[in-house]
């Protein structure tokens, strides 16, 4: 399958002393009840940019302790690398002496020469073994152990990293659930997915990736966590200082935060899984609009700040429909929103749409970027919040309306991206409407404790924090 090269024994890329890293690993192994000689098995599922980087961070930090831990990643086989990407990949390799030497040492360089000449076809799983993610070829990673058989990848894993788009999570984990029927001890699952589904039957409700995973596998919810934060995958692997939060039940979030923490990647823990996971989906929705506004106004700081004020007020409004006391959109949660609006694939997508360099007919899976998860999230949130059964009082106080009527940007994005009845520049009308309420009023309505609809999370009596 192609193994990953261990980091140097005396000191490795993330700057840890070996003793500290070994101690963290031993501590987690004890908590999981691992016996000596039985390695901790970590399996990534899905090899997009963030999923690949996350596994590469773990491989860099712990991979040299091969008798104690194994890191592997699953991706589907058969995805060919096109000629243009192969040519660009060859340029990236030759621009980095360390990468060039590594490939020559592994006797892997010649195949990239042949692909550059058009004499050979490369495949995504093949280049991932050499440390190249198809969605992020400009950022070479460490070599990874890649498995193309899903059952082989996950059947005995102690920790599974969900790096799949939310739109694929249910299907893949449904298959994984069949492999785990005979397991005695459930694994720990860390979901990186940002997106939601909407279900309207029997009542309108939201389904998050962690809920999809629990429903599909039967793994108890206390063993499923969400990790998110203000980060861009390539920048994190290049050791830009970053932080994140791992959210979920007390049992595992603190041990995992400690295990995942690195000098340049600080991981905090938080109990409010739902707010963070929903915000992870919402920020992708509004990032598409942010990219449109930036393109249409020639990067006007004023227009972008107006958009930021309005979209964050809508996000606050929506989270208060879902939770009685959601965590405030502040600190790392606000920073996560900010960085996604500033520089992420969804913002990039909105920018390209507004410039006419992409069209909606091209779909939401874009070469070199992967799935634009904000598109499906726009559809899900709109469908959910347009239900009359969830009606809220209009600020005028004289009528009830569906919650989506209080979210003009979400409405505009739905009409642009899903219904395709408005051009991208109509997003500007959504933020310039003279009849629009001050975003402060929307926030005050949200915080008045009258919005909360516990049924939206499939919990008749509400959902408690983990």
Check whether 448 has a pLDDT greater than 80.
no
Q: What is the DSSP string of 186-203?
A: PPEEEE-----EEE-SSS
Average pLDDT along the chain: 89
Tokens of 383: 């469908």
Check whether 153 has a pLDDT greater than 80.
yes
Give the pLDDT confidence score for residue 450 in this predicted structure: 72
DSSP state, 218? -
Q: Which of 79, 50, 283, 308 is nearest to 58 (CA)?
A: 50
- Mean pLDDT across the stretch 212-241? 94
Contacts of 419 (CB under 8 A, 6+ apart): none
CA pair distance 133, 130, nearest whole angstrom: 9
- Mean pLDDT across the stretch 53-67? 97
Check whether 442 has a pLDDT greater than 90.
no
Check whether 238 has a pLDDT greater than 80.
yes
- Mean pLDDT across the stretch 132-144? 96
- Tokens 């890293």 belong to 21
Q: 13-17, 116-120, 313-317, 406-410: which has the minimum mean pLDDT?
A: 13-17
In the chain, domain spans? 36-78+145-271, 83-122, 281-457
Give the pLDDT confidence score for residue 302 in this predicted structure: 95
Check whether 203 has a pLDDT greater than 80.
yes
- Mean pLDDT across the stretch 143-166? 97
User: Could you read off the pLDDT of 65-108 as tens digits, one per residue?
Assistant: 999 999 999 999 999 999 999 999 999 999 999 999 999 999 99
User: Could you read off the pLDDT of 276-327 as tens digits, one per residue?
Assistant: 898 888 999 999 999 999 999 999 999 999 999 999 999 998 888 887 778 7
* Angle between helix 331-342 and helix 345-355 axes, rounded to 10 deg: 30
Q: Which of 135, 216, 198 is nearest to 390 (CA)?
A: 198
- CATH class for domain 36-78+145-271? alpha beta
CA pair distance 405, 111, nearest whole angstrom: 56
Residues classed as catalytic: 283
Q: What percent of the chain has pLDDT over 90?
A: 70
Max avg pLDDT among 94-108, 378-392, 397-411: 94-108
Q: Which of 141, 140, 130, 125 is nearest to 103 (CA)?
A: 130
Q: If pLDDT is split at 50, 70 and 90, which confidence band does 464 have?
A: very low
Give the pLDDT confidence score for residue 134 in this predicted structure: 95
User: Could you read off the pLDDT of 345-358 as tens digits, one per residue?
Assistant: 999 999 999 999 99
CA pair distance 213, 224, nearest whole angstrom: 8
Give the pLDDT confidence score for residue 435 in this predicted structure: 66
Q: If pLDDT is split at 50, 70 and 90, which confidence band does 359 have?
A: very high
Give the pLDDT confidence score for residue 398 in this predicted structure: 75
Give the pLDDT confidence score for residue 459 in this predicted structure: 56
DSSP state, 142? -
- CATH class for domain 281-457? mainly alpha
User: Could you read off the pLDDT of 108-122 as tens digits, one per residue?
Assistant: 999 999 999 999 999
Q: Which of 87, 58, 73, 90 is nearest to 2 (CA)?
A: 73
- Tokens 């058009």 belong to 118
Give the pLDDT confidence score for residue 15 in this predicted structure: 40
Give the pLDDT confidence score for residue 458 in this predicted structure: 65
Contacts of 380 (CB under 8 A, 6+ apart): 195, 196, 197, 198, 206, 281
Question: Between these two residues, 173 and 365, which has the higher pLDDT value?
Answer: 173
């Amino acid at each position: 399958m192609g193994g990953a090269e261990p980091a140097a024994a005396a000191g490795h890329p993330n700057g840890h002393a070996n003793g500290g890293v070994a101690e963290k690993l031993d501590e987690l192994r004890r908590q999981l009840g691992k016996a000596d000689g039985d390695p901790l098995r970590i399996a990534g599922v899905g090899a997009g940019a963030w999923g690949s980087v996350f596994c590469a961070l773990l491989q860099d930090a712990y991979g040299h302790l091969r008798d104690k831990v194994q890191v592997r990643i699953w991706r589907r086989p058969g995805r060919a690398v096109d000629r243009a990407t192969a040519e660009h990949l060859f340029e990236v390799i030759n621009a980095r002496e360390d990468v060039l030497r590594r490939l020559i040492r592994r006797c892997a360089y010649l195949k990239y020469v042949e692909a550059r000449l058009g004499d050979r076809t490369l495949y995504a799983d093949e280049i991932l073994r050499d440390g190249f993610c198809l969605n992020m070829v400009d950022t070479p990673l460490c070599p990874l152990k890649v498995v193309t058989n899903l059952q082989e990848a996950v059947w005995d894993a102690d920790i599974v990293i969900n790096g799949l788009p939310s739109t694929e999570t249910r299907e893949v984990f449904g298959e994984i659930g069949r492999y785990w029927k005979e397991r005695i001890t459930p694994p720990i699952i860390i979901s990186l997915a940002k997106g939601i589904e909407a279900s309207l039957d029997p009542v309108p409700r939201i389904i998050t990736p962690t809920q999809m995973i629990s429903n599909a596998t039967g793994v108890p919810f206390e063993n499923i966590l969400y990790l998110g934060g203000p980060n861009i995958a390539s920048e994190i692997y290049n050791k830009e200082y970053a932080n994140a939060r791992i959210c979920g039940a007390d049992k595992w979030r603190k041990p995992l935060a400690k295990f995942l923490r690195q000098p340049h990647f600080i991981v905090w823990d938080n109990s409010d899984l739902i707010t963070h996971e929903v915000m992870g989906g919402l920020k992708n929705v509004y990032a598409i609009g942010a990219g449109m506004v930036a393109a249409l106004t020639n990067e006007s700081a004023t227009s972008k700040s107006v958009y930021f004020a309005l979209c964050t007020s809508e996000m606050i409004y929506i989270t208060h429909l879902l939770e009685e006391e959601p965590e405030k959109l502040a600190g790392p949660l606000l920073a996560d929103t900010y960085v996604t609006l500033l520089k992420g694939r969804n913002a990039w997508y909105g920018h390209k749409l507004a410039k006419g360099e992409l069209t909606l007919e091209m779909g939401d899976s874009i070469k070199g970027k992967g799935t634009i998860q904000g598109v499906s999230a726009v559809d899900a949130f709109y469908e959910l919040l347009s239900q009359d059964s969830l009606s809220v009082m209009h600020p005028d106080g004289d009528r009830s309306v569906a919650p989506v009527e209080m979210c003009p940007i979400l409405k505009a994005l739905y009409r642009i991206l899903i219904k395709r009845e408005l051009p991208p520049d109509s997003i500007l009308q959504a933020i310039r409407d003279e009849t629009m309420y001050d975003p402060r009023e929307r926030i005050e309505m949200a915080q008045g404790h009258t919005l909360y609809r516990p049924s939206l999370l499939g919990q008749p009596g509400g959902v408690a924090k983990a």
